[in-house]
Structure 1
Amino acid sequence: MSNTLASRLNLTRRSFLKMSAGTMAIAGGLVHRDGKAFAYEPYLRDDDLTTVVTSCAHNCGSRHMLVAHKKGDVIVRLSSDTGEYQGDPWNTDTEEVPQLRACLRGRSYRLRLYSPERLLFPMMRVGERGEGKFKRVSWEEALSFVAEKMEYIKEKYGPTALLDQSYAGASWGVLHKSDQITGLLGRFLGMFGCRTSSWSVPSYQGTTFSSKMTFGTIKDGNEDDAFAHSKLIIMWGWNPAYTFHGGNTFYYMRLAKQRGCKFVLIDPQHTDSASTYDAWWIPIRPNTDAAMLAAMAHHIFVNNLQDQEFIDKFCQGMDAGTMPDWAKDRENFKDYILGTDDGQPKSPEWAESICGVKAADIKKLAEMYATTKPAALKASWAPGRNAYGEQYNRMAAAVQAMTGNIGVLGGSSEGVGKAWSPKSTAYPQDKYKNIWKQSIKSDRWAHCVLNYPNVKREEIGLWPRSDKTDGQIPNIKGIFWQGSDWFNQLTNINKEIEAIKKLELVVCMDSTITPSGIWADILLPIATHFERHDAGLPWYKGHYYIHRPKVIEPLGESKTDFQVFTELAYRLGFGENYNPKATRDYFYNNEQVDEVYLREWWENQVMAKQHVDLSWEEFKKRGVYKFKFKHPHVAFQDNVEKGKKWYTPSGKIEIFSTKLARYTDWTKTAYGYEIPAIPKWIEPWEWLGSEKTQDYPFHLVSPHPRWRTHTIYNNIGILRETYEQEVTINASDAKRLGIKTGDTVEVWNGRGKVVVPAYVTERCMPGVAVIHEGAWMDLDENGVDRSGNPDFLTDDNPSPAGAFAYNTVLVNIKKTELAHRPGWDKLATARSQVFRRESSF
């Protein structure tokens, strides 16, 4: 009875029956006998509701404030930050302390919370794997099955047999955390002594490599308030209208626009961000970004526009004069750009035939960037999600450095873009922090399973170890998904489908059914962030903490991740070590223990180490703490102004990488293949300059959508009404193929086939197709995906530095009679859809 509507609304049996006597329930609403219909009955006004501050919890780029308005134990409305929760009666929203306003995804969360797809009970597979047939079981039966299977697999196949694929998707906080490095699953499997880790991050692995080689750290980003001081912002593959890299990015960019900043977009698409900021759009062929950046560097060098003083003082390997003594005979960046060694100057004319951008435009942009101070080249992650994507990011860093735009307010050194660092973990960080027996690149698990033991370490990105197990290929027989829907999101899904059929244990921990869950053996229902106690962090930018109280009781039999792992740890013999503040009854009563962990985190880490004078009780009362900086946070400002060394072997910005130059056996690295010591343009294995275009003439890119966070929110009808999963193509291509907007088309290559409607526009360059990532897979009897998930078309082939080649994909397109399964898409009546139909080509 605890989860009935009456009990959650705090209605007595008498009052509920009295209300019910005058109404009858139909079609999800309540209708009076006299025919008057209401969406809700009784209508609950704000004065009738309890207000609770919390936040989003997903891997979306921000994590803003959500304010839950509840009656009894039911959330009836969500709003966002108004400034009143900081103890400020003036409802602050300033450049120094902006409001943390949630987007439409976060505001729609009630529909996810109360979704028909909510997992309310443990479920066990009864059909074939992937068939989606499950039966309800008790927690006792589910956890006994998992624990017994884990022990069997470990004993039979050894300490590498269980693969950890946790990520920051649906369970992210300082206490209830899914994360590859400091997450609950990694700690659990590590203490169990059977764990293969996934070391790579799909969003920006090539970028991570670049930043570490160039700057020695991935903390290479400014806080977004620095954008307000830029005179020029180059959005290279970046669409901040869709993909937030901070909670208030657009606020500060709007300030920059109002102060006269100019905007440029380098992208195959004319995005909404280009429209918003009236940007100069330079369409570029996918995967050719490093060539265009090299051409910009050429124009800057030959016209002596570089900041030579900055280069001489802070850079290694930019030119002959900055090469280290031990490498004077090695090629430097300037010589490569001018073609001194290979006889091919990387001129704008050379780049025009590669990237499809006119040489005159490359020269114009190079001059704008080199002569406008300060200027921010925001080298976003998407162009790095390619074969040799690390070369794009390293090339961008070289151009940022040669113009002296690093370490200055209004400039930019991003790559990865991490800026202010929160205290992010409330549970013990001890010797069990990140134990793994082997670690592989996350999207190569299927290759490893299908080819074991005949696998070379470089094929799976096997991380080097210092012990006798170095080079040992993991024998993967089970997989845990915690806070991730990676089965739907990693490259080459058809290969994953083939591999998963060979596993003996697949566990999915989530709050709703997901495509990954459909292929699991056991579904464990995890409480959402509204149903557990925690604290929220900014995602990548922003400097604040948001308290997350338990707003409502967990629906059904949901438990927190920490409860599940603690109970499993007790069953496997290490419960006291795993959760040292708890006893065995934590599975049934976790609130006191969670409070202790969170209070200690606040007092011992936030208050003591970040000089916060707000008490834990006051933080809980307000719900949010926003840091006030004396000046905008600028990456490497102390390096430039105070002479602080960079975290590289040379202590400088390494355009010529010491580490890469000194590798002698590349097969013993996690990368497996040689990577040049300086940034270079390297031709990808699939692109519009490839011979493969004879069969597959379109280059497919799969950017992040505005209406989902990867796969999260894909099942929210009101969001799907607004945006449609479709393939975007240029009008000239559509005319040649006889395709109109709304036509159903198939998009295919040798790895798979998907079916989607077409959207025809001039806002996409010819030869390029666009399908947003994250649609939930929906296979027909022939293995064709009817939902339009582009990862049936992507390649899991490893790029040398670990970049995920999501955007290195050639495809073909044609009209089709195959079925498309649009769900809410075709039922949409939003004006945006009507307008698109009437204005299509």
Structure 2
Amino acid sequence: MSNINIKNLLACDMSRRGLVKSTAITSLALAAGGIALPFSRRAIASGVLAATAPHRQDQTIWSACTVNCGSRCPLRMHVVDGEITYVETDNTGDDQYDGLHQVRACLRGRSMRQRVYNPDRLKYPMKRVGARGEGKFERITWEEAYNTLAASMKDIIGKYGNEAIYLNYGTGTLGGTMTRSWPPGSTLIARLMNCCGGYLNHYGDYSTAQITEGLNYTYGGWADGNSPSDIENSKLVVLFGNNPGETRMSGGGVTYYLEEARKKSNARMIIIDPRYTDTGAGREDEWIPLRPGTDAALVAALAHVMISENSVDQPFLDKYCVGYDEKTLPAGAPANGHYKAYILGSGPDGIAKTPQWAAKITGIPADKIVKLGREIGQAKPAFIAQGWGPQRHANGELTSRAISMLSILTGNVGISGGNSGAREGSYSLPFVRMPTLENPVQTSISMFLWTDAIFRATEMTAKRDGVRGKDKLDVPIKFIWNYASNCLINQHSEINKTHDILQDDKKCEMIVVIDNHMTSTAKYADILLPDCTASEQMDFCLDASCGNMDYVIFADQVIKPRFECKTIYEMTTELAKRMGVEAQFTEGRTHEQWMRHIYQQSREAIPELPEFDEFRKQGIFKKRDPEGHHVAYKAFREDPVANPLTTPSGKIEIYSAQLAEIAANWELEKDDVIDPLPIYAAGFESHVDPLIEQFPLQLSGFHYKSRTHSTYGNVELLKAACRQEMWINPIDAKPRGIGNGDVIRIFNQRGEVRINAKVTPRMMPGVVALSEGAWHAPDTKMVDHAGCINVLTTQRPSPLAKGNPSHTNLVQVAKV
């Protein structure tokens, strides 16, 4: 029987049994390897269905995809004789949008078999025998690995203190409970280190550093947003760099809610992005391409239109906000230091932020800006939201605060159908996480500056480098824990510089990597430990950034750990023994006993949860938001006196006195701007930087369908389905002689990448785009041939958050 006939036969059989709705879809899934066949290999080879074989032991066990995509998806793993044969997703609930709908995994989660059985799997503990980065290792026993690490920790703590030990940023198992890899304080590595005197902590993250810090000064703390399900009450949806169609694709993600809610409200959707994303793909009403890093200039011009035409919500601004105009400007602020003066040109710079002014900066025609300003000013309620792309720039803190101003000016904050201008929020269940104890070390650094903390630690200060907990660092990082993370190399900026820093093992003396695969980062380990995949251990998997239904997945152990892989709890328990803190670390509980303990606590907070063993069979627990939809700052809007924000004034701070003080006292580099108002400032490596004469194209990154950051980046079938390419407009490609599919050089002063070109009008002229997360593959001259954008990004941090400006890059492109 031919392969194609087998596929058609299986597709018909699966369709008939209700496993899929289309034989075409089934055949595609079979070809892509996302769903393996529910038949034995021998039966397929002979053309006989495995269902006729009476001896096989077929089980269906619940598991999950726990990666950091902003959603978590249940996987129903079909196991025959101890081997995963194919993967399905959620089949529970009534599958109605307003009910307990099915949470269907995307192509990434459905390819889980390809991760579990990948040839890159780490099989046993190893130690480095070559230079860091060469990937040369020799096999060692677990006993030797544990003893080496315990001895290294004791030595480094004895010489330098616990601040010399650092937990690197990593979100490879973000959905897990026992296996959670970030934030550092919530990991089992942190629990171990807290039993041993603590560690150097970090703040911020590679996804949201600038928006987290920026909007903290507007709303206080993490800026909340309405759930995307609430769009069913909106008249207009405006998305700044928000692309759930490629980042949060699953049935538990934002894409599903966005589309289903818009069906109910028929809200117009406007997408503002330099790249025409799949979130649009014909579903949007308007795409407005915008020059990267100029969102704040566009917002200022939109504000000029709304203020000039009297379409701002003045009562809201008077009652709930600080610093819009002279009436609410705080004491000590300069005259005309308010937002309205900045927009109309009576502020310190004397420039009116007209649509004509913004057109030259943003690349958007002035008449288009006027039309958009009128539409936003008149539509209410309006769901205005930003993704995390706009803030991932050199001026990202200002950008995030500026975009939120559209919601504030129009009074769309705290109401159903509106939003805060931040990213969407969600309803969440109070499920208990693994306790990790308190860190005795109070010092922390920005997660982006760990490389600096290796080679210039004692120069790093609070006012120049954002050190927290003390005025300056006293010791460099000497020991790095890198758990479920490719951020040591692949996801950190300026890879060639990082390579040089890490190769000197007299600076950082020990790097331990705990992972599933031989990633780009794993090649820089001194000790390399093979972790179990989600399919090889038991855990609870929690949802994230969803809509008005939350859920918890019981991710059971599907198969026995492959090779010599161990769970993170096993590893940390063995290290705790050797560090003399086992009793404090385990509290006498095994992995499963901890899960039962956590679950019992969670049942006290969520009484509807079934018994542990019942939940284990059930696989997923879902619950709808009893309020209907999550509305950010609803209580504040209803009574701002009884429910103040956590800002100093208790109100929305358009003018921040705290930022004014920081701006006056911090040491800032040229082109770095911190301001009490959400102004526009170009920042470094912008479209007006003199460097553009040498590198005339702006390079922006984006998240890609075939990977979650770098996770799944070694699954060949996904790589073939979604090729790594650099997007370029025909206007920029033609004078360079670049055709679609040509191999090109992308280069700047930091390095060079060679990859194929995707010539498309879906990219704004003057801008090129390269998806992040491709696994770094350098040649002997450190030229990357995989399309890893971080060869080209900078380690210079943003001004306030000291975050990663991953989308602020100037490059040149040439045909090879």
TM-score by shorter chain over 0.5: yes
Does residue 184 (structure 1) correspond to residue 188 (structure 2)? The answer is: yes
Matched to 1:537, the amino acid is L
Give the alignment partner of residue 302 of structure 1, picking from 298, 305, 308.
Answer: 308
Does residue 607 (structure 1) correspond to residue 616 (structure 2)? The answer is: no
Q: Is 1:232–1:263's contact at 8 Å kept on the other side of the alignment?
A: yes
5 Å-filtered alignment, 1:29-40, equals none
Corresponding residue for 1:598? Answer: 595
Q: Is 2:227–2:631's contact at 8 Å kept on the other side of the alignment?
A: yes
What is the CA–CA distance in structure 2 between the aligned matches of 1:596 and 1:111, rounded to whole Å?
A: 31
Corresponding residue for 1:500? Answer: 502
5 Å-filtered alignment, 1:640-659, equals 640-643=637-640, 644-659=643-658
Q: Is 2:230–2:261's contact at 8 Å kept on the other side of the alignment?
A: no
Does residue 222 (structure 1) correspond to residue 231 (structure 2)? The answer is: no
Corresponding residue for 2:30? Answer: none
Q: Is 1:199–1:440's contact at 8 Å kept on the other side of the alignment?
A: yes
Give the alignment partner of residue 70 of structure 2, picking from 56, 61, 67.
Answer: 61
Query: Measured at CA, do residues 642 and 387 of structure 1 come closer, stay the same or move farther in structure 2, by a change above 3 Å?
Result: same
Q: Is 1:98–1:248's contact at 8 Å kept on the other side of the alignment?
A: no
Q: Select between 405-414 and 285-294 the one with higher mean Cα deviation.
A: 405-414
Corresponding residue for 1:407? Answer: 414
Give the alignment partner of residue 397 of structure 1, picking from 388, 396, 404.
Answer: 404
5 Å-filtered alignment, 1:107-126, equals 107-126=110-129
Corresponding residue for 1:254? Answer: 259
Corresponding residue for 2:27? Answer: none
Q: CA deviation at 1:173?
A: 1.4
Q: Is 2:212–2:223's contact at 8 Å kept on the other side of the alignment?
A: no
Q: Select between 680-689 and 284-293 the one with higher mean Cα deviation.
A: 680-689
Matched to 2:131, the amino acid is E
Give the alignment partner of residue 612 of structure 2, picking from 608, 613, 616.
Answer: 616
Query: Measured at CA, do residues 757 and 38 of structure 1 come closer, stay the same or move farther in structure 2, by a change above 3 Å?
Result: farther
Q: CA deviation at 1:48?
A: 5.8
- 2:473 aligned counterpart, secondary structure: coil
Matched to 2:715, the amino acid is I
- 1:143 aligned counterpart, secondary structure: helix
What is the CA–CA distance in structure 2 between the aligned matches of 1:45 and 1:425, rounded to whole Å?
A: 43
Matched to 1:377, the amino acid is I
Does residue 513 (structure 1) correspond to residue 522 (structure 2)? The answer is: no
What is the CA–CA distance in structure 1 between the aligned matches of 2:336 and 2:191, rounded to whole Å?
A: 44
Q: CA deviation at 1:377?
A: 1.0
Corresponding residue for 2:630? Answer: 633
Q: CA deviation at 1:40?
A: 9.5
Matched to 2:284, the amino acid is D
Query: Measured at CA, do residues 40 and 206 of structure 1 come closer, stay the same or move farther in structure 2, by a change above 3 Å?
Result: farther
Q: CA deviation at 1:167?
A: 2.3
What is the CA–CA distance in structure 1 between the aligned matches of 2:768 and 2:54, rounded to whole Å?
A: 47
Corresponding residue for 1:796? Answer: 795
Corresponding residue for 2:140? Answer: 137
Corresponding residue for 1:165? Answer: 168
Give the alignment partner of residue 573 of structure 2, picking from 555, 566, 575.
Answer: 566
- 2:499 aligned counterpart, secondary structure: helix
Matched to 1:696, the amino acid is F
Corresponding residue for 1:284? Answer: 290
Corresponding residue for 2:34? Answer: none
Query: Measured at CA, do residues 245 and 160 of structure 1 come closer, stay the same or move farther in structure 2, by a change above 3 Å?
Result: farther
Matched to 2:132, the amino acid is R
Matched to 1:237, the amino acid is G
Q: CA deviation at 1:120?
A: 1.8
Q: CA deviation at 1:316?
A: 1.1
Q: CA deviation at 1:171?
A: 5.7
What is the CA–CA distance in structure 1 between the aligned matches of 2:486 and 2:47, rounded to whole Å?
A: 37
Does residue 525 (structure 1) correspond to residue 524 (structure 2)? The answer is: no
- 2:185 aligned counterpart, secondary structure: coil
Corresponding residue for 1:705? Answer: 704
What is the CA–CA distance in structure 2 between the aligned matches of 1:401 and 1:600, rounded to whole Å?
A: 44
Corresponding residue for 1:475? Answer: 476
Corresponding residue for 2:451? Answer: 446
Q: Select between 194-203 and 685-694 the one with higher mean Cα deviation.
A: 194-203
What is the CA–CA distance in structure 1 between the aligned matches of 2:103 and 2:682, rounded to whole Å?
A: 42
Corresponding residue for 1:370? Answer: 377
What is the CA–CA distance in structure 2 between the aligned matches of 1:786 and 1:337, rounded to whole Å?
A: 46
Query: Measured at CA, do residues 327 and 484 of structure 1 come closer, stay the same or move farther in structure 2, by a change above 3 Å?
Result: same
- 1:242 aligned counterpart, secondary structure: helix
Corresponding residue for 1:426? Answer: 433
Matched to 1:807, the amino acid is H
What is the CA–CA distance in structure 1 between the aligned matches of 2:667 and 2:612, rounded to whole Å?
A: 48
- 2:529 aligned counterpart, secondary structure: strand
Gap runs ≥5 in structure 1: 1-27, 85-90, 583-592, 817-841
Does residue 556 (structure 1) correspond to residue 563 (structure 2)? The answer is: yes
Query: Measured at CA, do residues 386 and 795 of structure 1 come closer, stay the same or move farther in structure 2, by a change above 3 Å?
Result: same
Corresponding residue for 2:12? Answer: none
Query: Measured at CA, do residues 44 and 372 of structure 1 come closer, stay the same or move farther in structure 2, by a change above 3 Å?
Result: farther
Q: CA deviation at 1:721?
A: 1.0
Q: CA deviation at 1:437?
A: 5.2
Q: CA deviation at 1:812?
A: 0.4
Aligned length: 765
Q: Is 1:166–1:183's contact at 8 Å kept on the other side of the alignment?
A: no
What is the CA–CA distance in structure 1 between the aligned matches of 2:41 and 2:396, rounded to whole Å?
A: 58
Gap runs ≥5 in structure 2: 1-36
What is the CA–CA distance in structure 1 between the aligned matches of 2:657 and 2:614, rounded to whole Å?
A: 49
What is the CA–CA distance in structure 2 between the aligned matches of 1:496 and 1:79, rounded to whole Å?
A: 40
Matched to 2:452, the amino acid is H
Q: CA deviation at 1:122?
A: 0.8
Q: CA deviation at 1:611?
A: 4.2
For 1:554-586, what per-residue CA distance to the aligned partner results, in whole angstroms no more than 9, with x for missing partners?
Answer: 11111111221121111012121122133xxxx
What is the CA–CA distance in structure 1 between the aligned matches of 2:458 and 2:289, rounded to whole Å?
A: 45
Does residue 76 (structure 1) correspond to residue 85 (structure 2)? The answer is: yes
What is the CA–CA distance in structure 1 between the aligned matches of 2:49 and 2:392, rounded to whole Å?
A: 46
Corresponding residue for 2:691? Answer: 692
What is the CA–CA distance in structure 2 between the aligned matches of 1:694 and 1:168, rounded to whole Å?
A: 38
Q: CA deviation at 1:42?
A: 8.3
Q: CA deviation at 1:158?
A: 2.9
- 1:390 aligned counterpart, secondary structure: helix
Query: Measured at CA, do residues 648 and 40 of structure 1 come closer, stay the same or move farther in structure 2, by a change above 3 Å?
Result: farther
Q: CA deviation at 1:455?
A: 4.2
Give the alignment partner of residue 320 of structure 1, picking from 311, 326, 349.
Answer: 326
Corresponding residue for 1:753? Answer: 752
Give the alignment partner of residue 107 of structure 2, picking from 104, 107, 112.
Answer: 104
Matched to 1:806, the amino acid is S
Matched to 2:483, the amino acid is Q
What is the CA–CA distance in structure 2 between the aligned matches of 1:711 and 1:153, rounded to whole Å?
A: 31
Query: Measured at CA, do residues 335 and 146 of structure 1 come closer, stay the same or move farther in structure 2, by a change above 3 Å?
Result: same
Corresponding residue for 1:12? Answer: none
Matched to 2:119, the amino acid is P
Q: Select between 645-654 and 420-429 the one with higher mean Cα deviation.
A: 420-429
- 1:747 aligned counterpart, secondary structure: strand
Q: Is 1:376–1:410's contact at 8 Å kept on the other side of the alignment?
A: yes
Q: CA deviation at 1:317?
A: 1.0
Matched to 2:352, the amino acid is P
Query: Measured at CA, do residues 96 and 413 of structure 1 come closer, stay the same or move farther in structure 2, by a change above 3 Å?
Result: farther
Query: Measured at CA, do residues 282 and 148 of structure 1 come closer, stay the same or move farther in structure 2, by a change above 3 Å?
Result: same
What is the CA–CA distance in structure 2 between the aligned matches of 1:81 and 1:224, rounded to whole Å?
A: 21
Q: Percent identity?
A: 34
Give the alignment partner of residue 491 of structure 1, picking from 479, 490, 493.
Answer: 493
Corresponding residue for 1:241? Answer: 245
For 1:601-625, what per-residue CA distance to the aligned partner results, in whole angstroms no more than 9, with x for missing partners?
Answer: 2222x32224435333332231111
Matched to 2:539, the amino acid is D
Q: Is 1:159–1:437's contact at 8 Å kept on the other side of the alignment?
A: no
Q: Select between 110-119 and 193-202 the one with higher mean Cα deviation.
A: 193-202
For 1:495-544, what per-residue CA distance to the aligned partner results, in whole angstroms no more than 9, with x for missing partners?
Answer: 11111122211110011111100111111111111111211111222511
